[in-house]
Structure 1
């Protein structure tokens, strides 16, 4: 392999100082166009790539920020993939999708956590705009949180999903690098937080459902017990029930894990014990799973019961019937988390920041009972 060109080679070819080369690469708008174009032409001609490690040593930064999620998908169930043998396989396969023809839905694959997908898109976009690289870590089968601890040694700052890292581990990480917690309210900690108005939006949605169901208590499809978002949505639901004079002991509660499959199981449990007039789900994926099960059993929505979700994923607008939901600004959440982290890197000694983004209640056919 040829020797990699250096900043000195670029400066020599362009006839400028190495400081000018550095300025062009870092702040191109601060350099005269003629000089900038000459340096960039030299960079292209030589195939020069700035050394991130050298720059990091000089600036005491890596130019990388981290985003850590828990592992929601069942990675251990993924089929074995031998990429070295793929070339010998037949170029295509024909599959008769009988499940789709029968109106049922197969188990979802690794791409089912659409909320996190959108947050990731936003975080990556904002990191790019800020001139940083985004490193993503997923904690699958990681009881000692070695993944996030390893990430912390490689990044300038870290965004973590609330409750994905134990408090004691997070405290130790925050001594070394700035930490932004995504979702969930502050709990007496000193981290920056970015969240949404879960409680208020769920309270208002529950009021609307109560109006449609004649004041009768809806059932509630809750998320994982350790989810801060799930807890806030349950609180919003509870507040609406208290406001309507409905005791929580009279509310049917089933629990899922935020996946579509768990929503189907919850709906089957409800049908086995008697349908409520309405089912409010803590997220869209579970609500869509419930719609799958109701449709397969011949239960009509909204005629036989109302169904609502929460998150506003694209699939909610494509279901039959279309799903009433609360739309989260998912991409904006990812972007906001990165912006807050950038602010903390520039102003490390300021007070913790709490950013709460608004939500949109989107009413669709699944919760609107026809007169």
Structure 2
């Protein structure tokens, strides 16, 4: 067997130092393009494969960042894989499946941002999805395999995170900032919802409104609901004068809640705590021949792509989901570089996006 090429061979072939080869492989964006291309060409020609294990031993790092999203895969059915069969089986699409095709799009966008930033900084990304009682065991396991960990707020006990943070940086995604030892990355949920709700209540002069909140354990929903309540106060409306219902942040949940709303008096506006809920509301209104926005105004929150293609297009608050993922990775790498940093809190701005479901006045 031929001797495997080494980093020294790559450096000699490309005419650069070993340190430059290392920078190209770990942080390609930090190296000039023509130098990077020359090194990568040498890597390809020689068939060089860097040893992550060796790098980790030398630097006492794994060069891997962990991202923990509990329940991210819950919409994927648990089906056994039958490797003995390779048949193509026809199925009938009778349009009876009401499950959402936009499940977890929030997480997908955050994940994309984390992947982009991790690659830019020379790290790999390990993604874990835990369910029920497996969450704590999974967090402990992934913490032993990575240099830093980002988790969704309220999904892991603080005691466990404090234990993990004794060894690696921990970043909390979403939710209100707290006085703790962790770094936090979130979007401006409360002010964003307050601005949007004020536009509906004051800009459109609506008083008959229903607000569909999310699940009580959502780290973002409490802030959005607080923003809505602030808007009620801004407009001089008592909270008991409007209906506040809860759903589960899914499109199916939005459909079910819309049916409950329409079983009583039809409101002039339905404000939703996330886009998927709002898309479910739009589904039901269309099925019943209720016009949006002429009969009912509908708004969401998040800014997922599906809202740009709904009928009508969805008015929403766009939060920078990709940038949330990037900021989480940035916070982890900053603490790896300087473990003495005080806890950092990053709150990213949001934008109110007016579309046809609640148009400009």
Normalising to structure 1: TM-score of the pair?
Answer: 0.87
Structure 2 residue runs of 5 or longer lacking an equivalent are none
Alpha-carbon shift at residue 67 of structure 1 (Å): 0.8
Distance 1:279 1:57, change over 3 A: same
1:194 aligns with 2:185: yes
**TM-superposition CA deviations, 1:191-244 (whole Å, max 9, x none):** 111111111111111111113553414211001101121000000000010122
Distance in 1 of aligned mates of 2:319 and 2:77? 29
Distance in 1 of aligned mates of 2:107 and 2:11? 47
Structure 1 residue runs of 5 or longer lacking an equivalent are none
Distance in 2 of aligned mates of 1:118 and 1:105? 25
* Partner residue in 2 for 1:84: 83
Distance 1:69 1:169, change over 3 A: same
Alpha-carbon shift at residue 49 of structure 1 (Å): 1.1
* Partner residue in 1 for 2:71: 71
Q: Is the 8 A contact 1:217 1:246 kept in 2?
A: no
* Partner residue in 1 for 2:98: 106
Q: How does 1:7-18 map to 2 (within 5 A)?
A: 7=6, 10=9, 14=13
* Partner residue in 1 for 2:257: 266
Q: 2:214 aligns with which of 223, 228, 245?
A: 223
* Partner residue in 1 for 2:4: 5
Question: Cα RMSD over matched residues?
Answer: 2.9
Q: Is the 8 A contact 1:307 1:367 kept in 2?
A: yes
Distance in 1 of aligned mates of 2:287 and 2:329? 42
**TM-superposition CA deviations, 1:102-161 (whole Å, max 9, x none):** xx872125x511111011001101100001001101112345511111110000011111
Q: Which is worse superposed, 21-30 or 299-308?
A: 21-30
Q: Is the 8 A contact 1:213 1:278 kept in 2?
A: no
1:317 aligns with 2:308: yes
Distance in 2 of aligned mates of 1:301 and 1:41? 56
**Which structure's residues are more often helix, by fraction?**
1
* Partner residue in 2 for 1:47: 47
Distance in 2 of aligned mates of 1:15 and 1:136? 34
1:24 aligns with 2:24: no
1:128 aligns with 2:127: no
Distance in 2 of aligned mates of 1:310 and 1:205? 9
